[in-house]
Amino acid sequence: MPEWSVAEPRTFALDDPVTSLKVRVVNGTVNVVGVAEGPARLEVSEVVGPPLIVTQRGSTLTVSYEDLPWKGFLKWFDRKGRDRSAVVSLAVPAGASVEVGVVGAEAVVSGIRGRTEVRGVTGDTTLVGLAGPVRAETVSGNVEAQSVAGELRYSSVSGDLTVVDGTGTSVRADSVTGDMVIDLDPADRGTDIRLTTVSGEIAIRLPHPTDARVEANTTSGAVSSAFDDLRVDGQWGSKSIKGTLGSGTGTLKATTVSGSIALLRRPESEPESASEPASGKVL
């Protein structure tokens, strides 16, 4: 089993096949990109503190520290982490599965067709052009997903979730205080969207036409809808948006206690910014 201790900048070209990648870094940056052909490549351009341990067991490549396990990763708040950081870039086959764990580090994962799982304590994560299933868990880091086609699962305490030009049909997310902005244009008009937050704001933009049974509820926030087929109810206290869009083959459920909920409609021509206001019924 090849193993390397990396205490200074170094580049690796890995001739053995890589079908699974596992990376855990404290502070700094992790960049992972999927490539169509060629061997996996690893570049460690900066290491501060203890060395990174690089191992390849079979077709699994691991880049981490000796004292940073994947299990219980989100509870890792060791003070020694303040004295370490690393900048790591990897190119792996696009079909590989990827696990990335970051404490205080930024992570970017792009072009992966296999399963992607990201866990972060702090530090933002960007996911671009992922075709396989995606799972993201954070404590306070934000997650931005661009052009993600696979099903997306997200869980956070206070991080925000932003989905831009999503082509997948399934998004399930929950948070305590984080906001959620979901912009979808799935190839299949049916959707499965289920969002839950306590005090975060929720904004969802869907194509028109779309097919979904809609049920959105807030206890004390405001609601608005750009779809005439949906009913906005509630004058004081609890408010809701309910109804059926198209044939109703999909599902859209959104729940928040004190946050607001907005359902926006994608124009049929050129897409507009998800942050632009939409006209419609407001309560």
Is the bond leading into 209 cis (omega within 30 degrees of zero)? yes
| Strands 60-64 and 20-26, bridge-based pairing | parallel
Mean pLDDT check: name the lowest of 170-174, 204-208, 216-220.
204-208
Coil, helix or strand at residue 78: coil
Bridge partner residues of 33 (DSSP): 91, 110
Coil, helix or strand at residue 178: coil
Nearest Cα residue to 155 out of 170, 135, 125: 135
**What mean pLDDT comes out for the span 160-189?**
92
Can you tell me which residue has the tokens 């928040």? 256
**Between 82 and 21, where is the model more confident?**
21
pLDDT band at 268 (very low <50, low <70, confident <90, very high): confident
Q: What is the pLDDT of residues 225-266, one digit of tens each?
A: 999 999 999 877 899 999 999 999 999 999 999 999 999 998
pLDDT over 70, % of the chain: 89
pLDDT score, position 96: 97
Q: How far from chain centre, in Å, is Cα 269? A: 27
- Residue 282 pLDDT exceeds 50: no
User: Structure tokens of 44?
Assistant: 């460690």
Q: What is the pLDDT of residues 190-206, one digit of tens each?
A: 789 999 999 999 999 99
For the chain, give the mean pLDDT.
Answer: 89
Domain boundaries, the chain: 151-273
- Residue 272 pLDDT exceeds 90: no
Q: What is the pLDDT of residues 78-89, one digit of tens each?
A: 655 668 899 999
pLDDT score, position 53: 95
**Between 78 and 146, where is the model more confident?**
146
Bridge partner residues of 228 (DSSP): none
- Residue 279 pLDDT exceeds 50: no
pLDDT score, position 281: 42
**What mean pLDDT comes out for the span 123-128?**
96
Nearest Cα residue to 168 out of 180, 181, 155, 185: 185
| Strands 202-206 and 239-245, bridge-based pairing | unpaired
